[in-house]
Amino acid sequence: MSELKDLFQSADWKKEKHVPAIDAPDSAKKGEFFKVTVTVGKEIAHPNTTEHHIRWIEVYFLADGEKFPYQIGKFEFTAHGESVPGPNMSTIYTHPEVVCALKTDKAGTLFASSYCNIHGLWQSAKRVSVI
């Protein structure tokens, strides 16, 4: 039996369009908010069609010394060109990019995961120090 953790794929986001790219500072000031942007298809555009799209992005932060990560947010993308007349007949499409902010007193690791309706689960991580 497979476990969920074994289903996550990872690669270099500069070469693989499904990997969530995390843009965040390498260090943040203790107790001050900092922005995190997560994009799927940052370097190589991901198709966003009714048939092939990114459904969601999740962002987590695991503070040093903690056992479990904190979920920063789950962001769903629900407009992929589908409409009553048929697939890709709408003029409304979402782009898989989110911006959120958080503050922390501890250094840790940001994790991002995304789900492609055809190619499954993808993940990436970025370390953030606190000064």
- The pLDDT tens digits of the residues spanning 43-79 come to 899 989 999 999 999 999 999 999 999 999 999 999 9
* Tokens 């092939």 -> residue: 52
Query: Catalytic: which of 3, 30, 42, 119?
Result: 119
pLDDT tens digits for range 1-53: 788 888 888 888 888 889 999 999 999 999 999 999 999 999 899 989 999 99
On the question of pLDDT at 117 being above 90, the answer is: yes
Query: Catalytic: which of 52, 66, 76, 103?
Result: 52
| The two three-digit tokens of residue 10, written as one number | 């990872």
* 73, containing H or E segment: strand 70-76
Active-site annotation holds for 5? no
CB-based burial label for 31 (10 Å; 0-12, 13-18, 19+):
exposed
For residues 44 and 56, give the distance between their C-alpha atoms in angstroms, rounded to a whole number: 18
Query: Catalytic: which of 42, 53, 82, 116?
Result: 116
Active-site annotation holds for 119? yes
| The two three-digit tokens of residue 28, written as one number | 């943040």
Active-site annotation holds for 46? yes
Domain boundaries, the chain: 4-130
Query: Catalytic: which of 46, 80, 82, 97?
Result: 46
| The two three-digit tokens of residue 79, written as one number | 């407009």
Active-site annotation holds for 95? no
Q: What is the pLDDT of residue 21?
A: 97
Residue 124 contacts residue 20 (beta carbons within 8 Å)? yes
Q: Please identify, in words, the CATH class of the domain defined by 4-130.
A: mainly beta
